Amino acid sequence: MALKFTEEIQRRKTFGIVSHPDAGKTTLTEKLLLFGGAIQIAGAVKSNKIKKHATSDFMEIEKQRGISVATSVMAFEYRGYKVNILDTPGHKDFAEDTYRTLTAVDSAIVVIDVAKGVEEQTEKLVEVCRMRRTPMIVFINKLDREGKDGFELLDEIELKLKLKVCPLSWPVGMGQDFQGVYNKYSEELKLFRPHSKQDEDTYLLRDLSSSDLDDAVGERAADELRTDVEMLTEVYPDFDREKYLQGEQSPVFFGSAVNNFGVKELLDCFVDIAPSPLPRITEERAISPLEDKFSGFVFKIHANMDPKHRDRLAFIRICSGTFERNTNYYHVRKDKKMKFSNPTAFMASKKEVIDTAYPGDIVGLYDSGNFKIGDGLTEGEELHFKGIPSFSPELFRYVNNTDPMKSKQLNKGVDQLMDEGVAQLFTKEDNGRKIIGTVGQLQFDVIKYRLLAEYGASCDFEPLAMHKACWLEGETAQIEEFIRLRKRNVARDKEGRPVYMAESAWMLKTVQDNHPDIKFHFTSEF
């Protein structure tokens, strides 16, 4: 049994895909699923002509707008490995969902558009990965279009993302001249035929000086490839798996996800080098995946995955031991035992009930409101998982009910969507009015849309000039006195913690100076 348990852990690879919007992240996810045999046909993410939508974008609003707004979880088997993909929203308005998802992965693939290069959102997300020392592989996408020179892109990645790159594949031309990709990792050249199955197009060219290369791609392109590969060997270090696992080196691949090109090379190398499930840090201690006793934490909650059934799912990352169906587990925050009769595994919105799950797996638990993001489940040990904070929002709006007959539905909808971490809810101390805080404008549109579509509740948002929400830390008496003096600017978050709502940066500075004994925090985890 112990041997099987260890083998099951070793064969799991759990990773997130992160990028700026439109770099082709969802398309890449689709193609990985295609190669893993998990789906039969890829859906065009943007095309309205094709009624088949990308597997990982299953919410109605995502299909309409062609963007991912919720993290999707998908699993498939490939070459004896169990691969778990978490496709994250690229849009900056949903950055918080992405930050939390990165707590549940062991490695990441960063997707970069060959024409646009490194974009602002990519920088932020890579910074989060670096904070957690998450190993990263870079995939430079859309080689079938004209874009920046390969060497220029490598420089940009090193400069802006501060990653030490190690190119493991190299393109032969790009845009209209794109002829294929030379895979340095396996030393073979693949020639590009749009939408082909690829397998028949492999040239096993161990020797680039061979005249076969000139015949295959033409003299000019062959000479260019030889020069480039020679330069890569001289300028960039050899691949070192240990450095990659420490987050000190990032392999780079080139390809075109929409044309299935370079994706299989990425996947083959990924399953060879990416880490198996890693230890997780809690306030009490580090947890090794090889421990016998089960533990896991909730990193995402999704209400109404199936609007017909009004279901709410808590996504749990398994950290150690074996998760068994119909077994009593200890809910740490609520201090009670719970068991789950139908835990599910995912293929985007397709779900199947599972009996057991191992460290690295992501399991969906049906939830009637017991879970919050960050909650721990164990076999009895008190463990508090770290690194799943709420951030201070940047935009604030009052919520106004536009249909008094539906107050109950509105309150329930707002509560459940806030539990998902879509946005944050604050209740004013002086008048009880509800304020929603988000990172970006788009979240308000999504909340309004989902309240109507999923709960039948309609509301509008009243603008509120607010600079920051700050969590307060200090002696109980000092906090109570602060609330008494500044009741008009104090609200409570969903957990009932006091939050100071600063109207401007100047006001915040003044209040901080007037209350030196109180600490003001911009994240809820301090």
The residue with greater pLDDT, 190 or 38, is 190
Q: 395-521, which class in CATH?
A: alpha beta
Confidence class for position 46, pLDDT limits 50, 70, 90 = very low
pLDDT at 429 over 50: yes
Nearest alpha carbon to residue 189 among 175, 176, 207: 207
| Rounded Cα–Cα distance for residues 64 and 452 (Å) | 16
Q: Which of 69-78, 85-94, 261-270 has the highest mean pLDDT?
A: 261-270
Confidence class for position 283, pLDDT limits 50, 70, 90 = confident
SS3 state at 11: coil
For residue 348, the model assigns a pLDDT of 47
Classify domain 2-175+237-273 by CATH number.
3.40.50.300
Confidence class for position 60, pLDDT limits 50, 70, 90 = low
For residue 202, the model assigns a pLDDT of 57
> Burial, 339: exposed, middle or buried (Cβ in 10 Å; 0-12, 13-18, 19+)?
exposed
Segment 322-345 shows an average pLDDT of 91
Nearest alpha carbon to residue 278 among 250, 245, 248: 245
Task: Answer whether 2-175+237-273 and 395-521 agree in fold.
Answer: no
SS3 state at 30: helix
When mean pLDDT is compared across 137-146, 223-232, 300-309, 325-334, the lowest value belongs to: 300-309
pLDDT at 76 over 90: no
H/E element, 343? none
Distances (CA, A) of 252 to 78, 129, 245, 255, 497: 21, 16, 14, 10, 44
| Rounded Cα–Cα distance for residues 371 and 421 (Å) | 12
Right CATH for 280-378 from 3.40.50.300, 3.40.50.620, 3.65.10.10, 3.10.129.10: 3.40.50.300
Confidence class for position 66, pLDDT limits 50, 70, 90 = very low
Boundaries of every domain in the chain: 2-175+237-273, 280-378, 395-521
Convert the pLDDT of each residue in 442-482 to its tens digit: 778 888 888 888 889 999 999 998 888 999 999 999 999 99
pLDDT at 281 over 60: yes
Compute the mean pLDDT over every residue in the chain, rounded to the nearest whole number.
Answer: 82
The pTM (predicted TM-score) of the whole model is 0.77
Instruction: Write the DSSP assignment of 195-231 as a string of letters.
Output: T--SGGGEE--S-TTSHHHHHHH-HHHHHHHHHHHHH
